[in-house]
Structure 1
Amino acid sequence: MGRTLVIGDIHGGLKALQQVLERADIRENDRLIFLGDYVDGWSESSQVIRFLIELSEKQDCIFIKGNHDAWTEDWLNSGNEPDVWLFNGGKSTVESYAGYSPEDRNIHLEFFQRMKNYYIDEQNYLFIHAGYSSMHGPEKEVYSSNYRWDRTLWETAVAMDKKLEKNSELYPKRLLLHKEIFIGHTPTLHIGSKTPVNKANIWNLDTGAAFTGALSIMDIDTKEFWQSDVLPSLYPNENGRNG
């Protein structure tokens, strides 16, 4: 068995994805777990999906669905283009699908439909795009949209007193359910970090690739990580989700 590597939010940055996989020296027996938000931002959203479909045919890959992926899935399925999506990167995704045949678009739709809401591995590590609010865990989550939108899990970990012991009655029950939790969704740039951040037993892998940051990949066991160049340097004539 090779390594298990977890990858943060890509947001249409195919160049960054290819670069970071190369820097991590991906091998055939490595398992890759993607935390979602493959689209919406830089100009190569559809190309990212095509690349991931091809990668999954030769590599053990697990794909978690993010909120941007749900928007794109809905658009591919129904043609729905809500303004909030277009304003938050959806416009670049729509443009990236220009010239695709109905057959190819349907292949991509099916790929989105197969994505997981979350994944729990053999070590009781949880991989989820955003979070969950239920103290009984993601399996008991009432609103499935929380898998892709919830920020309270991360906010709780960030705000916790570092001296709080796990056996304390005040320790958040949600954080006791899994050995470690790997998330994306909320850029670490918001707390001043350009690299993956650990708070309590949560690792945040969204290092701001949609904006001015880099794309990150981490070995879940050793915590060694690799990063692409920052995305604005890879797409110098674009704004990503900055504009």
Structure 2
Amino acid sequence: MPRLLAIGDIHGCYKALVTLETFVEITPDDTLVTLGDYVDRGPDSRRVLDWLVSKDKTHKLNPLRGNHDLMMAQARLKKDHFQRWLNFGGYEALCSYTIDNKVNADTMNLVPRSHWHFISDRVLPYYETEQYIFVHASYDADVPMSAADDYVLYWEKFSFHPRHVSGKIVVCGHTSQKSGLPIRTENAICIDTRVYDNGWLSCLDVDSKMLWQANQAGETRKFYLDDVC
């Protein structure tokens, strides 16, 4: 049976990502929604973007834009954004394209065109199905997603909002949970479980509420969302 799967913030943690892929047994028949923040902080942003570009050709991938992906794209276009991005994890992202960890503005030229296209043009602000809304950061309960402010979509922290005007449940990332467990209300689920900081990368089957997790050490675990939150 094809599944609707959401993967939380990856942050350059390629080992956790491929471990999770195997653990979940993701197939081309599954609909896959990645919630953004593919780059920064973790050691392998380049390999994560390679994985996404590849899966975009073979799977039903719906990749969302995260604030870190947005910062990387802006750093390429605006020099005054470059240093700010480096301080938010961009240094680690650019190091993944080098062999000596020496990073400057010229290092941006080492990023393949396919990666720039993916984080600048391919990513989506949100994704909707009949029952769910997927977004990187948050939502305005009274506003259709098509009219949502960029700050809300990419930067606003998870909070106890009322049900969205559409009546749909929201699945998001962005607000990292040091506990390694998702946070949940009646109206929304956040599955950013802080993989880059000795946490876990989470994948949620939104219909069954099964949650799979993997970390950078190659460890895995799974449980139903109802059993933990």
Which digits, 9 at most, give the CA deviation of each residue in 1:15-38, with x for residues without a partner?
000001110011221111000000
3-state SS of paired residue (2:58): coil
Matched positions, count: 210
- Distance in 1 between residues matched to 2:166 and 2:156, nearest whole Å: 17
Q: Does 1:146 align with 2:152?
A: yes
In the alignment, structure 1 residue 114 sits paired with structure 2 residue 119 = no
- 2:208 corresponds to 1:222: yes
Of 68-77 and 212-221, deviating more is: 68-77
The aligned amino acid for 1:109 is: W
Query: How large is the Cα RMSD of the aligned pairs?
Result: 2.2
- What is aligned with 2:136? 129
Instruction: Indicate conservation of the 8 Å contact 1:196/1:204, yes or no.
Output: yes
Identify the residue that residue 167 of structure 1 maps to in structure 2: none
Q: Using structure 2 for the length normalisation, give the TM-score.
A: 0.83
SS in 1 for 2:69: helix
- In structure 2, what residue type is equivalent to 1:148? Y
Distance 2:66 2:108 in 1: 25
Matched, 1:155 2:159: yes
| Partner Cα distance (2:14, 2:132) in 1 | 27
Q: Residue 77 of structure 1 contacts residue 109 of structure 1 at CA under 8 Å; is this kept in 2?
A: no
Residue 201 (str. 1) matches residue 187 (str. 2): yes
Q: Aligned letter for 1:206?
A: D
Aligned equivalents of 2:112, 2:151: Cα separation in 1: 24
Q: Give the letter aligned to residue 124 of structure 2.
A: K
Following superposition, the deviation at residue 83 of structure 1 comes to: 3.3
Match of 1:165 in 2: none
**Deviations, residues 60-97 of structure 1 (Å, cap 9, x unaligned):** 10000000000111234455554332122110111122
Runs of 4+ in structure 1 deviating by more than 6 angstroms, as ranges, are none
Spell out the pairing of 1:2-17 with structure 2 (5 A cutoff). 2-17=2-17
* Partners of 1:9 and 1:184 within 8 A in 2: yes
1:60 and 1:79 map into 2 onto residues whose CA distance is 35
CA 1:9 to 1:149, structure 2 compared with 1: closer, same or farther past 3 Å?
Answer: same
Q: Distance in 1 between matches of 2:46 and 2:78?
A: 17
Corresponding residue number in structure 1 for 2:227: none
Could you tell me whether the CA contact under 8 Å between 2:53 and 2:114 is conserved in 1? no
- Contact preservation (8 Å) 1:133, 1:150: no
Q: Distance in 1 between matches of 2:154 and 2:184?
A: 20
Q: Helix, strand or coil: the match of 1:175?
A: coil
State the partner residue of 2:199: 213
- Evaluate the alpha carbon distance shift between residue 103 and residue 46 of structure 1 in structure 2; reply closer, same or farther with a 3 A threshold: closer
Secondary structure at the counterpart of residue 48 of structure 1: helix
> Which residue matches 2:169?
180
Map 1:43-122 → 2, pairs under 5 A: 43-78=43-78, 81-98=81-98, 105-112=112-119, 113-121=121-129
Instruction: Report matched runs for 1:14-29 at 5 Å.
Output: 14-29=14-29
The answer to whether the 8 Å contact 1:40/1:68 transfers is: yes
Identity of aligned residues (%): 30
Instruction: Measure, in 1, the Cα distance between the counterparts of 2:86 and 2:189.
Output: 29
| 2:221 aligned partner | none
SS in 1 for 2:95: helix
Distance 1:78 1:108 in 2: 18
TM score, norm. by length of structure 1: 0.79
